[in-house]
Amino acid sequence: MQVRVVADQPWDVKADVLAVPLLGQPDLSGALAELDRRSGGEIRALAEFGELKGKRFKAILTAAGELGAGRLLLVLGGDPVALDREAVIRIAASAERRLGGRAVKRLAVWLAPLAEQLEDGIDAVAELVTRGVVQGSYDPATIYREGYTDAPPALDELILVAPGEDASRLGRLAERGRIMGEGANLARTLANRSANDVTPEVLAEEAWSLAEKHDLWVDVIGPDKAAELGMGLFLSVGKGSDNPPRMIVMRSGRAGERDSLGRHLAIVGKGVCFDSGGISIKPSDRMDEMKMDKTGACTVIAAAATVARLAPGTPLLAVAPAVENMPGSHSTRPGDIVKALNGKRVDITNTDAEGRLILADALTYAEQLGATHLVDVATLTGAVARALGDLMSGAFGTPDDFVGEVFAAGRRAGERFWQLPLVDEYAEDMRDSWYGDVVNFSRNNDGGLVKSALFIREFVTKPWVHLDIAGTAYFRKATPFAPRGATGASHATLVELALAGVKA
């Protein structure tokens, strides 16, 4: 897909479809009135008919009259004061998704209605609309099925309609949006692929080929080397499966190299290719969803590739522990005491609390490789989904300065996080073990969400943020802006965070 920025008026643009965002009650004055007039009064007629009511992100496809475009697509953007960066992405994605199964090659989007409302103006809109269209074109139905014809159209050209603006500046920003969107879609495909397809070995091969393609350093650690290094927790989760574990490490820049903020940032993602629960086996209801439990790993792998595309050489370490959590005669048993890479003895009281175990060793390893700042991303707890739903991720971390930097990156990325507290007193419950230093699951599961983060905190010594994306990583139902399945949540935030340290 090519992106072209044009200074034409929206009624003059030649395209298959012209998308027009409508915020609030459409005000038929100025340029929108002219567009309405040339469309043969289509917009006014639809408003009077009651068609322009409804939920945010609803899109109405209608005739274009004398417009240069073949059809007009009106996208409801909701309350103008509620328009934020995330909404801009979703409006654009909804426009593209509404065209599923249609023969559309050239989609034009009129940016002004969004740019007038969004605080960050036209520059942000050019980037975010492009990213939204790219993300809106994503459909996992095409991963395994052949001849699927209802997918959103593969565009030859996205035309950003921006009269009176600097086309070359907006073009560069749109390119950034395109690469961000493609990165999110890459994370989504890796995450959506099923567990009989993507084993830890396959995920490692995918990471390897991305590293070669984007000139990243890569290392894949198998069970023998992991045992030599002392990654007891990582191995304890993977040993119940015939598909051996892989600790995947990717790096842009040199070993230990600091970025312009003095950081050697590491992003660490949970890669449980299937989470049956292990011996503490899960109920069968919705167990199929646990193929998505590798989403954190897929996200950090894709984010490393995206950073390499946008700003090659930016210092960044990505670590993705990949395992399959299965029951069997080789599995870890509840009550097993295992030595972590950092030397702590962990009493594994519940084998279904496995994400924190592999993250613990991965975070220690990232520190051994020189990380000064750590962000982990994981589908860690059902509790975060119950608390915050599928539109808001949970975040824990320390110190507040670094949490603030991650939240600022989230704002730039158009992603939502809610900070949750590390309640120190609850850590006592996590130390309530007969023989170990720490348990991975407290019998008193009150505050279990907080305790999951407190467990991870036992294994970090540097500024650290933990993002729990168990609610946001995938949608159980399609929305106007995204299909069922992986959403790409937190990919853009990680990329923005890394790019904050780009050397001038």
Residue 139 contacts ligand BES per CB under 6 A:
no
Residue 448 contacts ligand BES per CB under 6 A:
yes
Classify burial at 330, counting beta carbons within 10 Å of its beta carbon; exposed 0-12, middle 13-18, buried 19 or more: exposed
448 binds, among ligand BES, Mn ion, Zn ion, none (CB under 5 to 8 A by kind): ligand BES
User: Which stretch of DSSP H or E encloses residue 419?
Assistant: strand 417-419
Residue 379 contacts ligand BES per CB under 6 A:
yes
Catalytic, 98? Answer: no
Among the listed ranges 22-30, 155-163, 303-311, 374-382, the one in contact with ligand BES (CB under 6 A) is 374-382
Which is catalytic among the residues 172, 282, 431, 484?
282
Q: Considering beta carbons, is residue 308 or 357 the nearer one to Mn ion?
A: 357
Q: Considering beta carbons, is residue 177 or 296 the nearer one to Zn ion?
A: 296
Residue 468 contacts Mn ion per CB under 5 A:
no
Amino acid at 349: T
The nearest distance, CB 465 to Mn ion, in angstroms, is 21
Q: Which residue has the tokens 């603006």?
A: 165
Beta bridge partners of 220: 248
Q: Give CA–CA dist 269/248, Å, rounded.
A: 10
Give yes or no for a contact between 486 and 295, defined as CB atoms under 8 angstroms apart. Answer: yes
The number of residues in the chain equals 504
Tokens of 411: 């704002």
Q: Considering beta carbons, is residue 114 or 272 the nearer one to Zn ion?
A: 272
Residue 275 contacts Zn ion per CB under 5 A:
yes
313 binds, among ligand BES, Zn ion, Mn ion, none (CB under 5 to 8 A by kind): none
The nearest distance, CB 446 to ligand BES, in angstroms, is 12
Q: Residues near 400 by Cβ (< 8 Å), separated by ≥ 6?
A: none
Residue 493 contacts ligand BES per CB under 6 A:
no
Give yes or no for a contact between 331 and 323, defined as CB atoms under 8 angstroms apart. Answer: no
The pairing of beta strand 474-475 with beta strand 464-468: unpaired
Given candidates 355, 397, 483, 485, which one binds Zn ion under the rule CB under 5 A?
Answer: 355
CA atoms within a 13 Å half-sphere pointing along the CA-CB vector of 23: 18
Residue 138 contacts ligand BES per CB under 6 A:
no
The nearest distance, CB 355 to Zn ion, in angstroms, is 4
Q: Considering beta carbons, is residue 281 or 311 the nearer one to Mn ion?
A: 281
Q: Quick one: how far is CA 151 from the chain centroid?
A: 21
Q: Give CA–CA dist 289/298, Å, rounded.
A: 15
Q: Residues near 369 by Cβ (< 8 Å), separated by ≥ 6?
A: 249, 251, 255, 256, 266, 317, 319
Tokens of 378: 């994981």
Catalytic, 58? Answer: no
Residue 281 contacts ligand BES per CB under 6 A:
no
Task: Please give the residue whose beta carbon sits closest to Mn ion in the complex.
Answer: 352
Closest-CA residue to 474 (of 246, 307, 248, 288) = 288
Give yes or no for a contact between 89 and 123, defined as CB atoms under 8 angstroms apart. Answer: no
Q: Considering beta carbons, is residue 159 or 383 the nearer one to ligand BES?
A: 383
User: Which stretch of DSSP H or E encloses residue 208?
Assistant: helix 200-214
Residue 352 contacts Mn ion per CB under 5 A:
yes
Which is catalytic among the residues 178, 356, 451, 457?
356
Q: Considering beta carbons, is residue 9 or 350 the nearer one to ligand BES?
A: 350
Among the listed ranges 87-95, 313-321, 350-358, 411-419, the one in contact with ligand BES (CB under 6 A) is 350-358
Given candidates 86, 139, 275, 376, which one binds Mn ion under the rule CB under 5 A?
Answer: 275
Q: How many CB atoms lie within 10 A of CB 90?
A: 26
Residue 381 contacts ligand BES per CB under 6 A:
yes
Residue 370 contacts ligand BES per CB under 6 A:
no
Closest-CA residue to 354 (of 434, 456, 423, 266) = 456
382 binds, among Mn ion, Zn ion, ligand BES, none (CB under 5 to 8 A by kind): ligand BES
At 110, phi and psi to the nearest 5? -85, 120
The nearest distance, CB 9 to Mn ion, in angstroms, is 55
72 binds, among Mn ion, ligand BES, Zn ion, none (CB under 5 to 8 A by kind): none
Residue 275 contacts ligand BES per CB under 6 A:
yes
Q: Give CA–CA dist 482/94, Å, rounded.
A: 8
| Catalytic residue list | 282, 356
**Interaction site with Mn ion (CB under 5 A):** 275, 352, 354
**Interaction site with ligand BES (CB under 6 A):** 275, 293, 350, 352-355, 379-383, 385, 441, 448, 470
